[in-house]
Each structure stands twice: as structure tokens, then as C-alpha cells.
């Protein structure tokens, strides 16, 4: 009897042990390979012992393998191209729209409409903007997940208020008034140092894609005053065309030529260099320029200007009205950080796991991925806003050493009030003035912009490099006076654009925009 | 006659020195400009700082920013591994191939030369190379960066020509005494080939040290990224992180950081070159004289 009981006990223990081991083995982890668009390019990935990996393993049954994408878009495209060509795309990867369209047409990227119901909260906060969703649609099917990108309307026109006050000038509201102010800034020594070393306007030639060819965004307020900001006229299907065909476009180019000829603009403008441009406004080289609100006014970026000019004051102003009363601060384009799911991953049944991961990120994982560990890297106040009270400053999530912990933050940020309040706090300048970056942003948000979502959807032509080079070189030469600007040369320029396929591009783009519901 | 000769020689010497001096200025000036940019304090980041400013006004903040970066030492180590590991593989593969092709009596030598010329003339491109590396499961390892370019065919040709010029009698004498080909290679040919080994080794080493594109393609893990990739990420990040709330690299201008990154990358090669320069010209010329 005792032996029987003993045998039964041993057998039960053995069976329990087997069940435990079997159960553990049954929780097989699913590998998800994620190529991340990193938030801070030089900070590196989260450490191997990052708590997020463990939580994702335990709660979601996912073994997350993270790879940081290269920092430049061209390197990213090359890496994805090569992976696509060899059919080794990762399960989930960040990609720009042009590349997405290319590989989607090759059948290497999965449709993701079926994943949206599996992540209802994330869909509500991330994928409910119909305009942003259009960026990833091909034939009305979504081939990517468009996470909210950078904030909208973050750039605009600013002026040195202290220079205006010193010269007894008012804030200009029209292009003519702006010209008068610029002339005064150039000629009347607004910084009072006895040297003729200041200019009215500051800018640099910044053409980066088909949507922003020409002089680039830094000149959009001038082009916008003539009603021709950006590459295209999106007003209606009837009016849709390249802006260079509009007679006002030539007038805008003539205006830029005028300010260059009269040396009212910092003469370094034709050499594209953002770093140099930013250094120069911090050195007080010019008084009117177009800038991104955070690059202008956050503590880290403003401090050098503050050190050089403690009594200096920069204020945002509305873009000037042109001869026909039009004005624009720049282009209003939807932007998104797009993530795509490879067709292979979907075929392997990883779609639901990817949806589960993304849903967790947007809900339970929001604070961890966005700000770190509560109580260590941040705290929350009664309203749920982020605060550093009670946190060791060395561990604050904003410290350089902590950046790897929040490398995935761009997968969870939605530009809500919580994020903005902590990202752009107020602070005191050298002379005790309260600086509020968000106030500048809100000013820009309420300024006039030119709607240009369609430019994100227009596919670049095969000869886009030649096309943009011809366009840009001619405009810059006109403005610099290296090429005379008259009827003959302008017509030659327009003919040259047509020879490079401008009419065909317009036709194709128009059809696509009408089909996407972006042109009426 | 002697006076004329010495006058001619003097004139020639003066002209040569002036010419070389001008060349030196042309080379040194941009380098010096870049160096000055790397030590320029932020408020002088335009041309006003000049080229002849006292060192008391210099700042080493840009170098300090890079060197104190948490990933810098790791990236530096990775670059050293890739350079030395790659160099060892390069020489291990190139030397035997060059030596065997230098032996005129090698059966099928002409055919082998043709086979070698084909990949030299016709590059299959990136995708086939990527497919080979991934099918061998080399991605995310240093092997993916070191192995694919194991034999630089141009370098191999230079080395082959050098080996061919070594007096055949030396090798024959050794063979007659019973030496094997390996013995001849390691005990007779290689000791005489120091110039070419150092020259070709330098070519390979510089190539590996500056390796950038292949690591981006094959090394997914940040722990494996070499110095050029880290520096590029830092510099690219400066252009996009303007509205990040932490104080990243804002103590110096981006131009200073770019200039500092050039010097940091150049420094190891600049330090090694004086030791091997006396062999460099000899090696470069010797291998290139005849085919």
C-alpha cells in the first residue's frame, strides 16, 4: 500500500513537472524583426536588458528584434531596396512613401487594412486621419501604417523685433513694407556696432524633393505672396499645373532677383547649408527669415543667440501680402512616419502579432516607450502630464544618456498635449524674459498656408534628377543674375521643362490626384 | 663647364623646391582650414575666425563631444577589428594568388589570368553580392564586411608584377636544394617583398578603415557599427534633432563637428604613414613597371 501511494505520488510529481515544461514550451515566442526609424540618430538602440523587451516577451509572446535604420533617407532607401531585391525584408519596417510605392507594386509589401480592426485604440489615435491615410493608399488599399509624423505648420516667418524698435519701424504686413524694412536692416546698422554687416533677409536655397523644387521652403513666404508657393497649383482640377506656368511665378523670381541684386539678402543664400544659415541668425547677420519654431526657440537652440544678444528679441509675423493680397507661410503637407509590413511576414501569419505589438505600444506601452520608466525617468502629475518632480535629474528621460531608452518614441507619439507640454517647456532667457516655444508654434498654426497634400502622392518621374536639376539651376541663375531674366530666356526655361516631360508629369499627376479624391 | 653645371643644378633645385613648396601649400592649406574649423568656438563659425589664430583661442569642444560619446570607443574598436581582420584576410588571400600567377611556367596561367580579369572588368553589382552574403548567413557579422573584398584584383596585379621581378635564379636555387613552393614563398619571396606588402597592405587598410556603405548594408546591430557609420549618424542627426529637448551637441557648430570628424577618421592613417612611407614609393613603382 505504502509503495503504491509512493509510486502514485512520484508519478503525479513527474506528470506535473512534464506539464509545466510542456506548457512553457507551448508558449513559443514569435520573432518580429523591426527596422526602426530611430528618434535620435546618434543615441543607439535600447540596451539588451531594456525592460521593454521583457514586457513584450511576457505579455505579448513576441521576441522583438530591433534594428535601427540608417539616419539618412538615401541610406535607408538603399538598405530597403537591397533587402527587397533579395526578398529579405524584415517583418515591420519604417520606409518613406516613394520607396513604399515601389516595393508595394512589386508585391513585397502586404495590405494592412485587415490589421486595423485588430488594434482599435491605435487606429483611433494613429490611423484615423483620412488625409494621412491617403499617403499609404494604392488603389484605395492601405499598404502602410502612417504614424503621425512631425507636427504640422511648424515653420514660419520671424523678424528681429529689437531691430524694428531701434529703427522706429512697424511690423511689415505687405511685401512692399517688408522690402522697406529689409532695406533699413541692411543699410541702417540695426545692431549698432558701427559696421555694415547686416542684411534684411536671410535664407538658403533648400530644394529637397519634387514637392519643394525651386528655391525651396525658405522662400515660400515670398512665392506665397504671389500665390505660387510650392511646385504645384492644387486649387482645382481645372487650374492644376506646375506653378512655373503661372505669370506670377516669374514675378516672384524677379522679386528674389531684386533683393539679391540690391544685396538685401545674406549673400550666402545660394550655397545650400542649413547649419551655416542657423549659425548666422544666431550671430545676428540678418533680421528677417523663415525658421522652424523649435530650431528657433527651444532652450537648447536659442541659447547661443541669447548669449550673443541678451536683449535681442525674435517674434513671429504673418507672411506678407503680395500685390493681389495673397500670402502664405509655406506648404501644408500631411506628413507621416510610415511603417510597412512585409508580404512574407503576413504570409507567415505574423500580422496579428504585429497588430498586437502596435496596439500595446499605443496603450499600455505608451509611457514606457515615450518617456521611460515611471518613477525613474519621469513622473506624472494629477492630470497625467509629465513632470520631473521627484526624479533624479541624471535619470530624467530627456538626458543624453537616457535617449536609447526612448528610441521607439516616434512609434507612440501623437503630438498630444502631454507630449507637447513636456517637449517644449517654457523657460527664462538671459534677460529674464519668458520664452514659450509653443506660443510661436500656435502663431504659425493660425497663419495662412498653402494646402499641398497632393504633392506627397505625386510619384516622381523616372527623370526626376534631371528635371529638378534643370528647374533649380535655372531659377537660381535667374536670381543670381548669372542668366538674364527676360521673355526670351523665360520661354526657353519653360520649353526646357516641357522637353523634360513637364506636361506628361502634370497629366499623370492630375489623374492620380483626382482618383485619390484630392482634386475636384 | 662646372660652373654652368652647378648653375643649372642650382636652378633646377630652386625650381623644384618652389614647385614642391607650392604643391605642399595647396595640399596643406585646405587641411589646415578644416583643422581650424574643428577648433573654432561657436560664435566664430563663419570665416571671421581666420587661419592664424592663437591656440589660446582654440576650443577642443568638438573633439571632446565625439570622444565622450558613449558609442565612440565601441565604434573605434569595431573599425580596428575590421581593419586588421580585413587586412589579414586580404594579404592571406592576395599573396598566394599573386605569387602563383607570377610563375611563368604555371600550367593554365593564361586562362587563369583571363578568369581573374572577368570580375575585374565586369562588376555584377550590389544585389548579387548581397544575395551571396545573406545566403551564407554572414549578415550582422564582421565577416560580411571583411570577406567579400578579400582579393582586390588591381592590388593583386601590382603584387604579381612585383613577385615576377624577383630574380628567378634565387627561387631556382632554392628549388634545386629541395625547397617547396611554400618555402620559396615564405622564406625567399616574402622577405624580399616588404615594400609591396606594406604598400598593398596600406591600400587595403585605408579601404577598410573608411568602410562605410558595406557596414550600413550588412551590419544591423549598432554594436557592430564602425567609426565612419557612427560619425555619419551623429552628423545626420544634428540636422534632424533640432527640436529635441536635450542638450546634444549644441556647444559647437555643426561645421566644427564635421571638421573634427574628418580629423578623427584621418588620424590613425596619418600616424601609420610615416613608418611605412619609405617603402611606399618603392612598392608603388616596382609593381607597376611591367606586366
Q: pLDDT tens-digit profile of A148-194? A: 987 889 999 999 999 999 999 999 999 999 999 999 999 999 999 99
Q: Supply the pLDDT for residue B64.
A: 86
Looking at per-residue pLDDT, the higher value among B182 and A189 belongs to: A189
Q: pLDDT tens-digit profile of A135-150? A: 898 888 999 999 998 7
What per-residue string of b and e applies to A306-322 under the rule 16 or more CB within 10 Å gives b?
beebeebebebbbbbbb
| pLDDT over 70 at B237, yes or no | no
| pLDDT over 50 at B244, yes or no | no
A463 touches chain B (CB under 8 A): no
DSSP chain B: -HHHHHHHHHHHHHHHHHHHHHHHHHHHHHHHHHHHHHT--GGGTTGGG-SS--GGG---HHHHHHHTSTTHHHHHHHHHHHHHHHHHHHHHHHHHHHHHHH-TT-TTHHHHHHHHHHHHH----HHHHHHHHHHTT-TTSTHHHHSTTS--HHHHHHHHHHHHHS-HHHHHHHHHTT--HHHIIIIIIHHHTHHHHHHHHHHHHHHHHT--HHHHHH--SGGG--HHHHHHHHHHHHHH-TT-SS--STTS-HHHHHHHHHHHHHHHHHHHHHHHHHHHHHHHHHHHS--
Of A282-286, A515-519, B98-102, B208-212, where does mean pLDDT reach its minimum? A515-519
Q: Given B130, B221, B237, which is nearest A40 (Cβ)?
A: B237
B250 touches chain A (CB under 8 A): yes
Same-domain status, A389 and A294: no
Are A86 and B134 inside 8 Å of each other by CB? yes
As for the ipTM of the complex, it is 0.71
Same-domain status, A299 and A283: yes
* CATH number for position B251: 1.10.3720.10
Cell of B57: 583661442
Same-domain status, A126 and A105: yes
Chain A nearest C-alpha distance from B108 (Å): 36
Same-domain status, A165 and A239: yes
Q: DSSP secondary-structure letter at A160? A: E
| pLDDT over 80 at A78, yes or no | yes
Split at pLDDT 50, 70, 90, the class of A17 is low
Split at pLDDT 50, 70, 90, the class of B49 is low
Measure the CA–CA gap between A405 and A215, rounded to whole angstroms. Answer: 39
| pLDDT over 50 at B289, yes or no | no
| pLDDT over 70 at B238, yes or no | no
Measure the CA–CA gap between B97 and B112, rounded to whole angstroms. Answer: 10
* CATH number for position A112: 3.40.190.10
Q: Given B43, B220, B230, which is nearest A283 (Cβ)?
A: B43
Same-domain status, A40 and A88: yes
Are A300 and B245 inside 8 Å of each other by CB? yes
Q: Supply the pLDDT for residue B81.
A: 95
Measure the CA–CA gap between B109 and B88, rounded to whole angstroms. Answer: 26
In a domain, A222, yes or no: yes
Measure the CA–CA gap between B228 and A228, rounded to whole angstroms. Answer: 42
User: What residues in B contact A393, CB-CB < 8 Å?
Assistant: none
* β-bridge mates for residue A427, sequence order: A435
CA B196 vs CA A235, B55, B164: distances in Å: 68, 40, 12
Same-domain status, A311 and A342: no
Kindly report the backbone phi and psi dihedral angles of residue B41, in degrees, each rounded to the nearest multiple of 5, phi listed first. -65, 160
Residue at which a domain ends, from A412, A437, A466: A412
Contact A332, A179 (CB under 8 A): no
B71 touches chain A (CB under 8 A): yes
Q: Supply the pLDDT for residue B283.
A: 58
| pLDDT over 60 at B146, yes or no | yes
Give the mean pLDDT of A110-132. 94
Chain A residue closest in CA terms to B244: A423
Are A298 and B243 inside 8 Å of each other by CB? yes
Percentage of chain A modeled with pLDDT above 70: 95
| pLDDT over 70 at A323, yes or no | yes
Q: Name the residue range of residue A274's domain.
A: 155-333+449-515
Contact A357, A387 (CB under 8 A): no
Neighbouring residues of A516: CB distance < 8 A, sequence distance ≥ 6: A134, A137, A454, A457
Are B242 and A292 inside 8 Å of each other by CB? yes
In a domain, A240, yes or no: yes
Same-domain status, A171 and A143: no
Q: Supply the pLDDT for residue A33.
A: 95
In a domain, B104, yes or no: yes
Same-domain status, A122 and A43: yes
Contact A342, A461 (CB under 8 A): no
Measure the CA–CA gap between B273 and B278, rounded to whole angstroms. Answer: 9
Helix (H) or strand (E) holding A506: helix A502-515
Task: Quote the number of domains for chain B.
Answer: 1
B246 touches chain A (CB under 8 A): yes
A277, A279, A281, A286 alpha-carbon torsion, rounded to 10°:
-60
Looking at per-residue pLDDT, the higher value among A406 and B249 belongs to: A406
Same-domain status, A159 and A253: yes
In a domain, B52, yes or no: no
Q: Name the residue range of residue B222's domain.
A: 61-291
Are B236 and A423 inside 8 Å of each other by CB? no
3-class SS of residue A62: strand
In a domain, A188, yes or no: yes
Neighbouring residues of A148: CB distance < 8 A, sequence distance ≥ 6: A126, A129, A132, A336, A337, A413, A414, A415
Split at pLDDT 50, 70, 90, the class of B96 is very high
Q: Supply the pLDDT for residue A483.
A: 94
Are B71 and A71 inside 8 Å of each other by CB? no
Residue A249 CB neighbour total at 10 angstroms: 21
Same-domain status, A267 and A348: no
Same-domain status, A212 and A118: no
Q: Supply the pLDDT for residue B19.
A: 95
Q: Supply the pLDDT for residue A516.
A: 72
Q: pLDDT tens-digit profile of A210-255? A: 877 889 899 999 999 999 999 999 988 999 999 999 999 999 999 9
Are B245 and A398 inside 8 Å of each other by CB? yes
Q: Given A45, A70, A294, which is nearest B216 (Cβ)?
A: A70
Task: Quote the number of domains for chain A.
Answer: 2
Measure the CA–CA gap between A300 and B181, rounded to whole angstroms. Answer: 67
Same-domain status, A139 and A281: no
CA B197 vs CA B82, B150, B205, B274, B280: distances in Å: 18, 15, 12, 16, 9
Of A70-74, A258-262, B4-8, where does mean pLDDT reach its minimum? B4-8
| pLDDT over 80 at B199, yes or no | yes
Looking at per-residue pLDDT, the higher value among A122 and B212 belongs to: A122
Closest CA to B204 of B154, B165, B162, B164: B154
User: What residues in A contact B213, CB-CB < 8 Å?
Assistant: 78
Q: Supply the pLDDT for residue A141.
A: 92
Q: Supply the pLDDT for residue A84.
A: 92
Helix (H) or strand (E) holding A292: strand A286-292
Percentage of chain A modeled with pLDDT above 90: 63
Residue at which a domain ends, from A364, A392, A412: A412
A464 touches chain B (CB under 8 A): no
Q: Given A71, A86, A300, which is nearest B130 (Cβ)?
A: A86
Amino acid at each position: 500500500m505504502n509503495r503504491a501511494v509512493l509510486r502514485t505520488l512520484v508519478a503525479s510529481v513527474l506528470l506535473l513537472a512534464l506539464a509545466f515544461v510542456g506548457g512553457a514550451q507551448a508558449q513559443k515566442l514569435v520573432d518580429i524583426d523591426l527596422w526602426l526609424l530611430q528618434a535620435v540618430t546618434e543615441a543607439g538602440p535600447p540596451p539588451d536588458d531594456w525592460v521593454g523587451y521583457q514586457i513584450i516577451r511576457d505579455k505579448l509572446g513576441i521576441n522583438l528584434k530591433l534594428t535601427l535604420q540608417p539616419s539618412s533617407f538615401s541610406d535607408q532607401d538603399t538598405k530597403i531596396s537591397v533587402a527587397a531585391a533579395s526578398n529579405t525584408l524584415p517583418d515591420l519596417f519604417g520606409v518613406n512613401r516613394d520607396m513604399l510605392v515601389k516595393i508595394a507594386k512589386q508585391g513585397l509589401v502586404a495590405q494592412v487594412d485587415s490589421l486595423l480592426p485588430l488594434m482599435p485604440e491605435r487606429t483611433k489615435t494613429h490611423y484615423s486621419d483620412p488625409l494621412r491615410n491617403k499617403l499609404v493608399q494604392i488603389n484605395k488599399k492601405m499598404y502602410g501604417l502612417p504614424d503621425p509624423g512631425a507636427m504640422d505648420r511648424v515653420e514660419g516667418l520671424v523678424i528681429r523685433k529689437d531691430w524694428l524698435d531701434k529703427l522706429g519701424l512697424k511690423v511689415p504686413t505687405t511685401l512692399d513694407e517688408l522690402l522697406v524694412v529689409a532695406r533699413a536692416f541692411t543699410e541702417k546698422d540695426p545692431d549698432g556696432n558701427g559696421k555694415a554687416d547686416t542684411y534684411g533677409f536671410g535664407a538658403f536655397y533648400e530644394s529637397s524633393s519634387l514637392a519643394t523644387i525651386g528655391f525651396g521652403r525658405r522662400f515660400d513666404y515670398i512665392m506665397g505672396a504671389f500665390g505660387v508657393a510650392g511646385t504645384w497649383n492644387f486649387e482645382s482640377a481645372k487650374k492644376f499645373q506646375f506653378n512655373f506656368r503661372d505669370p506670377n511665378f516669374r514675378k516672384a523670381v524677379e522679386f528674389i532677383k531684386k533683393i539679391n541684386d540690391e544685396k538685401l539678402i545674406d549673400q550666402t543664400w545660394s550655397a545650400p547649408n542649413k547649419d551655416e544659415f542657423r549659425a548666422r541668425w544666431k550671430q545676428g547677420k540678418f533680421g528677417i527669415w523663415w525658421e522652424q519654431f523649435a530650431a528657433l526657440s527651444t532652450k537648447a537652440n536659442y541659447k547661443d543667440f541669447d548669449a550673443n544678444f541678451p536683449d535681442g528679441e525674435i517674434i513671429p509675423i504673418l507672411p506678407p501680402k503680395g500685390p493681389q493680397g495673397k500670402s502664405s507661410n509655406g506648404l501644408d503637407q500631411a506628413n507621416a512616419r510610415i511603417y510597412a509590413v512585409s508580404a512574407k511576414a503576413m504570409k507567415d501569419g505574423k500580422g496579428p502579432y504585429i497588430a498586437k505589438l502596435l496596439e500595446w505600444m499605443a496603450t499600455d506601452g505608451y509611457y514606457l516607450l515615450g518617456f521611460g520608466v515611471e518613477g525613474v525617468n519621469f513622473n506624472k502629475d494629477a492630470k497625467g502630464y509629465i513632470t520631473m518632480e521627484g526624479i533624479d535629474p541624471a535619470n530624467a528621460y530627456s538626458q543624453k544618456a537616457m535617449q536609447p531608452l526612448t528610441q521607439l518614441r516616434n512609434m507612440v507619439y501623437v503630438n498630444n498635449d502631454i507630449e507637447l507640454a513636456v517637449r517644449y517647456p517654457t523657460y527664462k532667457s538671459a534677460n529674464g524674459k519668458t520664452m514659450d516655444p509653443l506660443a510661436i508654434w500656435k502663431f504659425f498654426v493660425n497663419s495662412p498656408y498653402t494646402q499641398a497634400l497632393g504633392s506627397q502622392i505625386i510619384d516622381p518621374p523616372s527623370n526626376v534628377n534631371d528635371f529638378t536639376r534643370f528647374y533649380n539651376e535655372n531659377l537660381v541663375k535667374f536670381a543670381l543674375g548669372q542668366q538674364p531674366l527676360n521673355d526670351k530666356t523665360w520661354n526657353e526655361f519653360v520649353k526646357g521643362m516641357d522637353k523634360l516631360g513637364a506636361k506628361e508629369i502634370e497629366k499623370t499627376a492630375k489623374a492620380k490626384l483626382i482618383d485619390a479624391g484630392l482634386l475636384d | 663647364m662646372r660652373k654652368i653645371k652647378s648653375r643649372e643644378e642650382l636652378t633646377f633645385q630652386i625650381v623644384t623646391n618652389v614647385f614642391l613648396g607650392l604643391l605642399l601649400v595647396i595640399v596643406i592649406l585646405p587641411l589646415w582650414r578644416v583643422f581650424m574649423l574643428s577648433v573654432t568656438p561657436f560664435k566664430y563659425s563663419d570665416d571671421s575666425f581666420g587661419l592664424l589664430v592663437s591656440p589660446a583661442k582654440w576650443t577642443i569642444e568638438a573633439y571632446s563631444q565625439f570622444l565622450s560619446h558613449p558609442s565612440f570607443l565601441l565604434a573605434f574598436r569595431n573599425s580596428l577589428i575590421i581593419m586588421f581582420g580585413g587586412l589579414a584576410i586580404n594579404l592571406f588571400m592576395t599573396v598566394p594568388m599573386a605569387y602563383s600567377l607570377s610563375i611563368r611556367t604555371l600550367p593554365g596561367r593564361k586562362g587563369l589570368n583571363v578568369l581573374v580579369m572577368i570580375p575585374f572588368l565586369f562588376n555584377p553589382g550590389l544585389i548579387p553580392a548581397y544575395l551571396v552574403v545573406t545566403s551564407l548567413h554572414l549578415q550582422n557579422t564582421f565577416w560580411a564586411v571583411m570577406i567579400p573584398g578579400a582579393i582586390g584584383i588591381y592590388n593583386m596585379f601590382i603584387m604579381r608584377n612585383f613577385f615576377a621581378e624577383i630574380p628567378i635564379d634565387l627561387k631556382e636555387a632554392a628549388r634545386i636544394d629541395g625547397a617547396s613552393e611554400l618555402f620559396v614563398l615564405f622564406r625567399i619571396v616574402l622577405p624580399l617583398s616588404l615594400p609591396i606588402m606594406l604598400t598593398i597592405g596600406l591600400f587595403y587598410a585605408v579601404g577598410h578603415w573608411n568602410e562605410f556603405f558595406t557596414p550600413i548594408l550588412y551590419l544591423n546591430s549598432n554594436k557592430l557599427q564602425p567609426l565612419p557609420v557612427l560619425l555619419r549618424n551623429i552628423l545626420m542627426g544634428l540636422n534632424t534633432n533640432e527640436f529635441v529637448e536635450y542638450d546634444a551637441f549644441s556647444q559647437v557648430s555643426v561645421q566644427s563637428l564635421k571638421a573634427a570628424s574628418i580629423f578623427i577618421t584621418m588620424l590613425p592613417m596619418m600616424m601609420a604613414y610615416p613608418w611605412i612611407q619609405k617603402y611606399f614609393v618603392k612598392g608603388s613603382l616596382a609593381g607597376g613597371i611591367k606586366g
